[in-house]
Structure 1
Amino acid sequence: MSVEVGEKVIGKVTGVKPFGAFVELPGGKSGLVHISEVANKFVEDINEHLKVNDEVEVKVLSVGDDGKISLSIKQAQKPKRERREKREQSPEDFEKKLSMFLKDSEERMSTIKRQAESRRGGKGR
C-alpha cells in the first residue's frame, strides 16, 4: 500500500528519539514524526507524549524521492474550529455560569471592602 501526501492513517510507534518518533504505516512502510509535529504545544520531552507501540493517527506531509516519509500527529487532529464547536454551550449553561460568576465576584468584592474599611478604622473616621 502506498501512502499519499495529505492522507491520514493509523500507525504504530516503533521508535522514539529526542528529535521525533518513527511510525510504521499500513503496508510496512515507516515515516518520521518530527518533534515539532507531535503536539500543538511546545514539546520538550517527546517521551512524555509517545512511547513504543502507541497507535497514533498521522497525516502524511511529504514523501521524498529517496522514500523518506514525513508525518504529523498534530495536523491529523481535527481543526481548532471543529474542537471549539464541541465546547460551545447552550444559552442556559452560559447564563448559569455567568450568574455564579457574578455572585462569586460580588462576595469577593464585599470581603475586600470590609477588609479595607477595617484597616482604615471603619466608616466615618
Structure 2
Amino acid sequence: MEFGVGSILEGKVTGITKFGAFVSLPENKSGLVHISEIAYSYVNDVKDHLKEGQSVKVKVIGIDENGRINLSIKKAMDPPPRPAGQGRPMNGSRSGAPRSQGGGFRRSAPAEPATFEDRLKQFMQASDSKLSELRYMDKRGGSRRGGRK
C-alpha cells in the first residue's frame, strides 16, 4: 500500500520528544507529529497527550525531499465544535459599521488576543516552538534550508 500526502493511517507512537512524537507507519516507515499537530488545544507537554506504544490515527501532511514524513493527529479527526457566542452574528452583519465599497468577498482576519498577557502568551508559545525546532536541527547538524548535506 503506497501512501502520500492526504492519506490517513493507523500508527503506533515509538518515541516522544519536547517538539513532538515519532510514529511507526505501515511498510516499515515512520514519521513525526510536530507538537503543534497533536491537538486542537495548546499542547505544553507531549506526554500529557500521548504515550509510547499508543495507537494513533494520523494524516500525512507532507513528505520532504529527503523522504521524511510529516504527520498530523488533529487533522485526522474532526475539529471540535465552536463554543456558542463565537463566529458571525445571526443577522449576517459584522458590526454596525458600513460595508466597504469593494463589493468583493473579504475574509475576516483571525481574532487577536484581547489583553497584553494573552498576546505575550501567544508569542512565547510560538517562540518556544521555533527554538525547539532550531535546537533539534543544530543537534542533527542540519540546516532548515537544506544547505548542508
Q: TM class, shorter-chain normalised?
A: 0.5 to 0.7
| Structural mapping, 1:4-43, within 5 Å | 4-43=4-43
| Structural mapping, 1:1-125, within 5 Å | 1-80=1-80
What is the alpha-carbon root mean square deviation over aligned residues?
Answer: 1.7
- Partner Cα distance (1:65, 1:22) in 2: 19
Structure showing greater Rg = 1
Which structure has greater helix proportion?
1
- Partner Cα distance (2:58, 2:41) in 1: 17
Shift of the alpha carbon at 1:80? Answer: 4.4
- Give 5+ residue unaligned stretches, structure 1: 85-125
User: For each residue in 1:7-27, what CA deviation from the matched residue of structure 2 results, as whole angstroms up to 9, or x when unmatched?
Assistant: 100000000001000000011
User: For each residue in 1:69-122, what CA deviation from the matched residue of structure 2 results, as whole angstroms up to 9, or x when unmatched?
Assistant: 0000000002446x99xxxxxxxxxxxxxxxxxxxxxxxxxxxxxxxxxxxxxx
User: How has the CA–CA distance of structure 1 residues 79 and 43 changed in structure 2, closer, same or farther, with 3 Å as cutoff?
Assistant: closer
Shift of the alpha carbon at 1:65? Answer: 1.2
Task: Look up the equivalent residue of 2:30 and give its one-letter code.
Answer: S
Q: Indicate if the aligned counterparts of 2:13 and 2:55 stay in contact, CA closer than 8 A.
A: yes
Corresponding residue pairs, total? 83
SS class of match (1:47) = helix
- Partner Cα distance (1:60, 1:48) in 2: 22
- Partner Cα distance (1:20, 1:79) in 2: 20
- Give 5+ residue unaligned stretches, structure 2: 84-149
- Partner Cα distance (1:23, 1:5) in 2: 16
| Higher RCO (Cα < 8 Å, 6 or more apart) | 1
User: For each residue in 1:14-72, what CA deviation from the matched residue of structure 2 results, as whole angstroms up to 9, or x when unmatched?
Assistant: 00001000000011100000000000000001101001100000000011110100000
Task: Look up the equivalent residue of 1:78 and give its one-letter code.
Answer: D
- Partner Cα distance (1:6, 1:76) in 2: 9
Tell me the TM-score normalised to structure 2 length: 0.52
